[in-house]
Amino acid sequence: MMYKKLYFLLLSLLLVFSCTAQQTDVDRAFRHAEKQTGIMLNAVEKEKKEGDGKGISPRNLEPSGKLRLVHSGDWTSGFFPGVLWYLYEYNRDSVWLKNAETFTAGIEKEKWNAGTHDMGFKVYCSFGNGYRLTKNRDYRDVIVQSAKTLIKRFNPAVGAIRSWDHNKDKWKFPVIIDNMMNLELLFAATEITGDSVFYEVAVSHANTTLKNHFRKDNSSYHVIGYDPVTGAVEKRNTHQGYSDGSAWARGQAWGLYGYSMCYRETGNKEYLQQADKIAACILNHPNMPADLVPYWDFDAPEIPNEERDVSAAAVIASALYELSTFSKAGKKYRSAADKIIKSLSTVYTAPEGGAQGFILLHSVGSKPSGSEVDVPLVYADYYYLEALLRKKHLEGK
């Protein structure tokens, strides 16, 4: 009997130790993120003084190591405010709150910018997180106006929101898989106002994308070109990937995240099924590395001598944590997300004090364009912190 009691005591201590160790991994990652972001804030202020005065938010490092700031209209402008909101969510330190409010305010004018589909990236990652954490009524109003602006780009004949206004020589009405990420803003607007028009546009866009973007193996094209009059598909391309038929890694990540989120917002089982299919495509791909940090394109020709894309890995991890709460394969997804986070937090992090304050290294923006290849990218940091918070929440449960 005494040995039995001792056994259960040791087992309990092991369980407690295991939970504490897991929690410590998240805490350690956030401590690193806090230190790096403090450095980033100083680097941003220095660059603002030395630059042309137009840049407000960090995006990447240039080949020279110089910090690149972008204006509010850049699709990445909302991610650094989002990083600050996530740090505030983690420790409720007023320093992060103040900085989050400051950087978020710099993007407000984008609520009127109908020349881009990137309203969700810009506004929901900044004002959306701010509203979620503070319930600031001004933030709520920005979200609603941004949604009103975004749906001006919706074409009923196509059933989707137009993505780019550039490259008109290539596509009459392009829709990119990235655009799935902007639908969360529309769902939020319906929740805030009770007006179903935003919800209906989001669902229509998700349905059109589900119908036309995916191949038989459940990988996705990057761009679908539509006829804006008839709604017919004219082209299927992969603009930022290796080839039109290849699986561009971040594109697969956007799809996984988008349909997991759409299931959360609608309860439509077709979206859950699609998220499961995309997850299987990603996790079972023969070219997925053992550490689950994908190459920039799953079909890039020089694998294993191709660049990894940490930004894709961070998005995948965050999506898998959410999908794990819905899917029958939840344990598998959570385990995979944990493995990605372990890889990112131990192998792909910037050295403390380095990289001008970026948290993660080794992301790829667009290799075919020779743009942002093997550099730190702000959206990798954003989705990494989001994934860490989701991990922390799941472990808390």
pLDDT in tens, 238-286: 999 999 999 999 999 999 999 999 999 999 999 999 999 999 999 999 9
pLDDT at 168: 85
CA-CA distance, 346 to 374, in Å (whole number)?
A: 17
Q: How confident is the model at residue 169 (pLDDT cuts 50, 70, 90)?
A: confident
Helices and strands (H and E) in the chain: how many: 13, 9
pLDDT in tens, 372-394: 999 999 999 999 999 999 999 99
- Is 74 flagged in the annotation as binding? no
- Is 309 flagged in the annotation as binding? no
178 in active site = yes
Three-state SS at 294: coil
Catalytic residue among 74, 138, 165, 178: 178
Question: Could you write out the DSSP letters of every residue in 4-49?
Answer: HHHHHHHHHHHHHHHHHHHHHHHHHHHHHHHHHHHHHHHHHHHHHH
pLDDT in tens, 329-371: 999 999 999 999 999 999 999 999 999 999 999 999 999 999 9
- Is 369 flagged in the annotation as binding? yes
Residues 128 and 142 sit within 8 Å (Cβ to Cβ)? no
Residues 185 and 161 sit within 8 Å (Cβ to Cβ)? no
pLDDT at 15: 45
Catalytic residue among 25, 27, 74, 118: 118
165 in active site = no
- Is 219 flagged in the annotation as binding? no
CA-CA distance, 303 to 305, in Å (whole number)?
A: 5
pLDDT at 102: 98
Q: Which domains does the chain have, with CATH numbers?
A: 2-396 (1.50.10.10)
